[in-house]
């Protein structure tokens, strides 16, 4: 009888035991809580043991369930790893890359044509998610199961670089600088020094991440204490804040690296070169066991090469900050 246990029921049990919740298991498995409950009852009947103690405020595992769960969970991990390994060693030519939306639109997109030209046989799928930013509210690690579950080959994450079980390559450090349209360098109150910000709108990038710089910190570092750093226009996405700055709506405090192409194209300028280094950086992350797969290695090496070009510009060979 045990040999004929349905795989699906075991999967449901493992998920429910991991969450200690039929509802959360149902959400992960895309079924109803009633279907989860039915699968558990059926499994308990077939095994002849009780798996959960049901309480008003939740579930707890029985001793029998506690004994069997670790090996069962490991078994499912092995199955997922095996399937992923089979797929990764096939003739698959596509590559799935996971990153934060701002990185995708402001840094990767202007450069991506160079990869496509160099590797025309590799098809890319770009998946953008705010989960790729270390914040006080998001999970700060990327477990291997996330790569397998979403069929991701490479992740580019903004954070502190602590991702166990992965190969980690730093792309570049980042800093925050003021940026504005060239139009604001002229007019009734031209931007010449930090004190001139008193006559301009402050644009705030309120994207949530650890150590996020703000105007209060920047103004303090510039020795300015007569400007209300809270006033202005607030945005929940860096793209919106940078677009407002390009359109002459005010001065934004943002990452120089995310605005490098806007600066190079003359859409944005740096009115005063006072920067705030951030403790976070951008990292390329891959699972260790697949890191040297040819298509994964090719994209990683290309990213690092592109980041190196940016660092060269920052060092002055082709400065991304025009002289004023």
Say yes or no: 181 and 272 in one domain. yes
Determine how β-strand 233-235 pairs with β-strand 202-205: parallel
What's the confidence (pLDDT) of residue 183?
94
Of 17, 122, 2, nearest to 60 by C-alpha is 17
In this prediction, residue 323 has a pLDDT band, given cuts at 50, 70 and 90, of very low
pLDDT of 291 over the 60 cut: yes
Structure tokens, 183: 């139009």
pLDDT in tens, 180-230: 999 999 988 999 999 999 999 999 988 876 667 789 999 998 899 899 999
Query: Does any domain span residue 190?
Result: yes
**Beta-strand (E) ranges in 113-256?**
123-128, 154-159, 166-179, 202-205, 233-235, 251-255
Q: Which residue has the higher pLDDT, 229 or 141?
A: 229
Q: Give the SS3 label for residue 183.
A: helix
What's the confidence (pLDDT) of residue 30?
81
Average pLDDT over residues 237-247: 92
- % of the chain at pLDDT higher than 90: 35
Sequence-distant contacts of 56-62: CB under 8 A, at least 24 apart: 58/20, 58/21, 59/16, 59/20, 59/21, 59/22, 60/20, 61/17, 61/20
Say yes or no: 68 and 112 in one domain. no
Q: Give the SS3 label for residue 82.
A: helix
Say yes or no: 58 and 19 in one domain. yes
Q: What is the DSSP-derived secondary structure letter of residue 201?
A: P
Say yes or no: 141 and 107 in one domain. yes
Structural domain that includes position 247: 174-278
Number of domains within the chain: 3
Say yes or no: 44 and 138 in one domain. no
What's the confidence (pLDDT) of residue 322?
40
Say yes or no: 16 and 74 in one domain. yes
Say yes or no: 254 and 293 in one domain. no
Answer with the one of 42, 66, 88 that is the final residue of a domain.
88
What's the confidence (pLDDT) of residue 26?
87
What Cα–Cα distance (Å) separates residue 4 from each residue in 16, 41, 43? 21, 16, 11
CATH classification of the domain holding 240 = 3.40.190.10
Q: Which residue has the higher pLDDT, 16 or 151?
A: 16
Query: Does any domain span residue 182?
Result: yes
What's the confidence (pLDDT) of residue 149?
66
What's the confidence (pLDDT) of residue 321?
42
Say yes or no: 156 and 299 in one domain. yes
What Cα–Cα distance (Å) separates residue 66 from each residue in 26, 52, 211? 21, 10, 40
Query: Does any domain span residue 227?
Result: yes
Say yes or no: 74 and 119 in one domain. no
Query: Does any domain span residue 324?
Result: no
Answer with the one of 88, 107, 141 that is the final residue of a domain.
88
Say yes or no: 7 and 53 in one domain. yes
Say yes or no: 163 and 305 in one domain. yes
Say yes or no: 72 and 164 in one domain. no
CA–CA dist 87, 287 (Å, integer)? 14
For 323, the enclosing helix (H) or strand (E) is none
Helix ranges, the chain (H) = 7-19, 22-29, 33-47, 63-88, 101-102, 112-118, 144-149, 215-221, 238-246, 260-264, 294-314
What's the confidence (pLDDT) of residue 213?
79
Indicate the burial class of 126 (C-beta count within 10 angstroms; 0-12, 13-18, 19 or more). Answer: middle
Residue whose structure tokens are 């989860």: 36
Query: Does any domain span residue 322?
Result: no
pLDDT of 272 over the 50 cut: yes
What's the confidence (pLDDT) of residue 87?
57
pLDDT of 311 over the 80 cut: no
CA–CA dist 52, 50 (Å, integer)? 6
pLDDT in tens, 71-100: 888 887 777 666 666 655 544 568 999 888
What's the confidence (pLDDT) of residue 4?
62
């Amino acid at each position: 009888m045990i040999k004929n246990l349905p795989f699906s029921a075991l999967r449901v049990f493992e998920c429910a035991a991991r969450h200690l919740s039929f509802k959360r298991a149902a959400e992960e498995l895309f079924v109803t809580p009633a279907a989860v409950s039915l699968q558990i009852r059926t499994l308990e009947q077939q095994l002849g043991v009780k798996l959960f103690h049901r309480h008003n405020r939740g579930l707890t595992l029985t001793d029998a369930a506690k004994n069997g769960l670790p090996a069962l969970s490991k078994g499912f991990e092995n199955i997922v790893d095996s399937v992923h390994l089979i797929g990764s060693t096939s003739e698959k030519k596509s590559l799935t890359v996971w990153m934060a939306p701002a990185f995708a639109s402001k840094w990767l997109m202007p450069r991506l044509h160079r990869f496509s030209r160099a590797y025309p046989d590799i098809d890319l799928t770009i998946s953008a998610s705010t989960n790729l930013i270390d914040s006080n509210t998001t999970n700060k690690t990327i477990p291997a199961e996330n790569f397998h579950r979403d069929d991701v080959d490479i992740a580019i994450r903004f954070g502190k670089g602590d991702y166990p079980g992965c190969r980690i390559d730093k792309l570049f450090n980042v800093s925050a600088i003021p940026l504005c349209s060239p139009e604001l360098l002229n007019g009734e109150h031209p931007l010449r020094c930090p004190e001139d910000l008193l006559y301009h709108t402050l644009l705030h990038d309120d994207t949530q991440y650890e150590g996020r710089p703000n105007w209060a910190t920047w103004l303090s570092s510039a020795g300015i204490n007569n400007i209300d750093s809270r006033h202005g226009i607030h945005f929940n996405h860096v793209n919106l804040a940078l677009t407002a700055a390009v359109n002459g709506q005010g001065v934004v405090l943002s990452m120089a690296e995310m605005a490098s192409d806007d600066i190079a194209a003359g859409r944005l300028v740096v009115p005063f070169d006072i920067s705030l280094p951030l403790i976070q950086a951008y990292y390329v992350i891959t699972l260790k066991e697949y890191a040297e797969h040819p298509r994964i290695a090719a994209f990683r090496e290309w990213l690092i090469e592109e980041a190196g070009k940016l660092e060269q510009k920052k060092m002055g060979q082709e400065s991304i900050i025009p002289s004023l």
